[in-house]
Amino acid sequence: MTLLVLPAPGAEAAAAGLAGHLQAPLGAVESRRFPDGESYLRLASEVRDADVVVVASLRDPDPQALGLWYLADTARELGARSVGLVAPYLPYMRQDRRFHPGEAITSRTFAEFISQRFDWLVTVDPHLHRIASLAEIYRVPVRAIASAPAIARWVGTQVNRPVIVGPDSESEQWARDVADRIGCPAIVLEKKRLGDRSVEISVPAAEAYADRTPVLIDDIISSARTMAVAVRQVRSAFGSAPVCVGVHAVFAPDALQVLQQAGAARIVTCNTLPHETNAIDVLEDVAAGVRALQEGARGA
């Protein structure tokens, strides 16, 4: 097996980190835009007979998606034996059904788009809600790496007497997993979404945990409205400012400020998307997922 890690534009740091954990060479990709907006792409490393691992950082997926196709097709055309995709943040997982007549179910279309060009996919905590497993929508082998072990290691060493708080029922899966690994309690709040940037959250009885540090954990911080409303509610219920942990630092332009102004004690995220709040490294676990997939493919 000759692994070669190639960074899609914007994923250079993650690709270098992953190559280090995989002890695999890091290839070079040149890309730029022509004046008319079209893409130029050149693989500056030899890919013949390599099992290529493309690493992509998909915070803003639409401008990147076509480039991923160019990268995968070029690697294949130049003789790569296989081409897999590591997208630590998997976008388009929330529009997983038609909420209103005529809406596109973009989760499915995006999955089809990736499945057509890549041999496998490794990601971290995809937002699975109405879709129970990525295998329902992706036609290629997929590994979903859990961030809970890395988050639990961070919270367990950085926070004194934590109580894990999930801002809504969807976050329960991460909140309870992290709490169980640390051996601390967890509670889950109740959320009602009123619009893209508006949510209402209520807190169940918190008195039992008054002597603990609340740690809010959610998979995605996007507009940060969910986290910001939860911060305010937790502050008034617990009487102390929570630590906020996000798996995927999507962060819309004003989101960090919104969260800081809500009164978070500290804001940290995993390095699935590059952001100034990155403090929790999940790439070692991602590398283990890549190795397991490759070994499965060799054994098949």
Residues in the interface with ligand R5P (CB under 6 A) total 13
Q: Is 107 in the site for ligand R5P (CB under 6 A)?
A: no
Q: Judged by CB under 6 A, does residue 226 bind ligand R5P?
A: yes
Yes or no: say if 243 and 216 are a contact pair by the CB < 8 Å rule.
Answer: yes
Per rule CB under 6 A, is residue 213 in the interface with ligand R5P?
no
Name which of 27 and 126 has its Cβ closer to ligand R5P. Answer: 126
Q: Which of 19, 83, 215, 221 binds ligand R5P (CB under 6 A)?
A: 221
Given candidates 147, 171, 233, 272, which one binds ligand R5P under the rule CB under 6 A?
A: 171
CA separation for the pair 1, 287 (Å, rounded): 15
Which residues, 6 or more positions from 175, have their beta carbon under 8 angstroms from its beta carbon?
164, 165, 166, 186, 187, 188, 217
On the CB side of 126, how many CA atoms lie within 13 Å of its CA? 28
If binding is defined by CB under 6 A, does position 222 make contact with ligand R5P?
yes
Residues 151-170 binding ligand R5P (CB under 6 A) are 168, 170
Stretch that binds ligand R5P, among 16-24, 103-111, 132-140, 212-220 (CB under 6 A): 212-220
- Which of residues 51, 119, 218, 285 is near ligand R5P by CB under 6 A? 218
- Least spacing, CB of residue 135 vs ligand R5P, in Å: 21
Closer residue to ligand R5P (CB): 77 or 136: 136
Residue 92 neighbours by CB under 8 Å, 6+ apart: 61, 106, 107, 109, 110, 111
Q: Is 250 helix (H, G, I), strand (E, B) or coil?
A: coil
Rounded Cα distance, 137 and 143, in Å: 13
Q: Is 269 in the site for ligand R5P (CB under 6 A)?
A: no
Report CA-CA distances (Å) from 214 to 130, 143, 157, 182, 208: 28, 31, 15, 14, 12
Distance in Å, CB of 196 to ligand R5P, minimum: 7
CA pair distance 136, 236, nearest whole angstrom:
41
| Residue 26 binds ligand R5P, judged by CB under 6 A | no
Footprint on this chain of ligand R5P (rule: CB under 6 A)? 168, 170-171, 218-227
